Amino acid sequence: MNFICLRSLTCAVFFLLFALLVLPTFALSATESAADNDSANAVRMSGTAIHKAEVIPVPEPSEKTLRYYRSGNVLWVLSNIWGLLIPAAFLFTGFSARIRNFARSVGRKWILIIGIYVVIYTCLNFLIDFPLDVYQGFIRQHAYELSNQSFSQWLSDSMKSLMIVTMMGALFLWIPYLLLKNSPRRWWLYTSMAAVPFLLFVLLIQPIWIAPLFDEFGPMQDRALEERILQLADRAGIEEGDVFEVNKSEDTETVNGYVVGLLNTKRIVLWDTLLEKLNPEQVLVVMGHEMGHYVLGHMWKLVLFFSLLILVILYAVHRTAAIMIDRFQHRFGFDKLSDIASLPLLVLLFSVFLLAATPVAFAFTRHLELEADRFGLEITQDNHAMATGLLFLHDENLRHPRPGLLYKLWRSWHPVPAERIEFANTYRPWETGDELKYANYFRQE
């Protein structure tokens, strides 16, 4: 659910919205470009070009892919360093305390002080990050032919994201600070508990209130394919789900498809770029993967997992923050964590511990993604469509098929492309008479 890409999201509502930053969009999706590798185009319509029993080899990365991979790693390191330096600068210069003092002079009341501080802090972070965000989100994407978006469109989306971040921070950040004020020893526990219903609420409203701010949703144009998707959803036990097509080609080359929402807001979403670039069999395997996430309850598992992770991280923040305040309170300009001026300290410490915990978190998400691949294969029994679809998507995405270990641990919430393609080639229990792992989820035709 990556509807917000700003680092200021973490700064403004870092613990309540944490799961929104790390919960992946469940997809066999990838960002595509007009790449010059003919192998991807050769397998795009491979339902007729290659026999379905043929093993799809994992190609070597192109020179363009290697450049994108290496420069991306450098940029990732620099972005993380930058993301730690900014809150540290707010703290050690006493600037955060000065923002608090200004908020006090304007707001008077405690809850208004928090709201004013959050607005100022979030907007300042947006402005500070803006040059790096422009390069990462706009210039670099166009340089590698990964985006069609005009700068005005990109800026409009960025401002919408800023608006959402600022509003949610101003409306909800008073809750953990109230817990800090009333229970300084147990705030980390109660804040972790409060994050769960908040996250579920956002997951519930995101498809109908937030996503339409960025994308135009409409009915599928290909009615025959829509019927096949609904039949697959019915076989997977997904009822009353609407299918929407999103017009993304005017903004991006990204390919995506997913099942989103909770209860009566759940829907099946396909981007028009995916429908244009994959054949129907590959689209069905993508949707089988997405339906696997939904049917297997991965969203609930992720909520539980990341709630526990947030609990552990906030406890570490609690213990570390006390030590830092005791040592640097004169430089910080505050002597207790319940002071709103402590927000950069909380952001800084949370970011450090989150970075340390990322390999554990991504190991869990990779496991869920592999299970969704398994579900998609079992419900469609089309290894060829999955392997060729993955090859096309990852090749066009400029994703290194076999990245280094550090990349896998800290940057890959999906299994690396080579692992997924090899799994799609080899997982065929229906051909050997072995029992399907998820057969009990499938309705009989």
Model pLDDT for residues 79-93, shown as the tens digit of each residue? 999 999 999 999 999
User: pLDDT at residue 210 above 50?
Assistant: yes
User: What pLDDT is recorded for position 20?
Assistant: 35
Q: Read out DSSP for 189-245?
A: HHHHHHHHHHHHHHHHHIIIIIGGGT--EE--S-HHHHHHHHHHHHHTT--S-EEEE
CB burial readout 363-401, b (16+ within 10 A) else e: ebbbebbbbbbbbbbbbbebbbbbbbbbbbbbbbbbbbb
Neighbours of 215 (CB within 10 A): 16
Q: Please, what is the angle between helix 343-380 and helix 298-332, to 10°?
A: 170
- Longest CA pairwise span in the chain (Å): 74
Write down the pLDDT at residue 445. 61
Q: Contact 60/391 with Cβ under 8 angstroms? A: no
CB 235 within 8 A of CB 227: no
Cα atoms found within 13 Å of the Cα of residue 86, Cβ hemisphere only: 23
- Answer yes or no: is pLDDT of 422 > 80: yes
State residue 48's pLDDT score: 41
User: In terms of DSSP bridges, do strands 217-218 and 30-31 run parallel, antiparallel, or are they unpaired?
Assistant: unpaired
CB neighbours of 296 closer than 8 A, spacing ≥ 6? 368, 371, 372, 375, 438, 441
Does 32 score more than 90 pLDDT?
Answer: no
Q: Check the CA dihedral 192-194-200-202 and report its sign.
A: negative
* Per-residue model confidence (pLDDT) at position 161: 92
Return the higher-pLDDT residue of 259 and 361: 361
Sign of CA dihedral 347, 350, 353, 356: negative
**What's the pLDDT band for 285 if we cut at 50, 70, 90?**
very high
pLDDT tens string 41-51: 444 444 444 44
Query: Whole-model pTM?
Result: 0.84
Percentage above 70 pLDDT, the chain: 87
The count of C-alpha atoms lying within 13 angstroms of the C-alpha of 102, restricted to the half-sphere facing its C-beta, is 12
Report percent pLDDT > 90 for the chain: 59
* Per-residue pLDDT tens over the stretch 135-165: 999 999 999 988 888 999 999 999 999 999 9
* Neighbour tally for 261: CB within 10 Å: 22
What are the distances in angstroms from CA 139 to CA 53, 142, 149, 279, 399? Answer: 42, 5, 10, 31, 18
* pLDDT band at residue 11 using 50, 70 and 90 as cut-offs: very low
Q: How many CB atoms lie within 10 A of CB 305?
A: 19
Average pLDDT over residues 196-215: 85
pLDDT reported for residue 42: 45
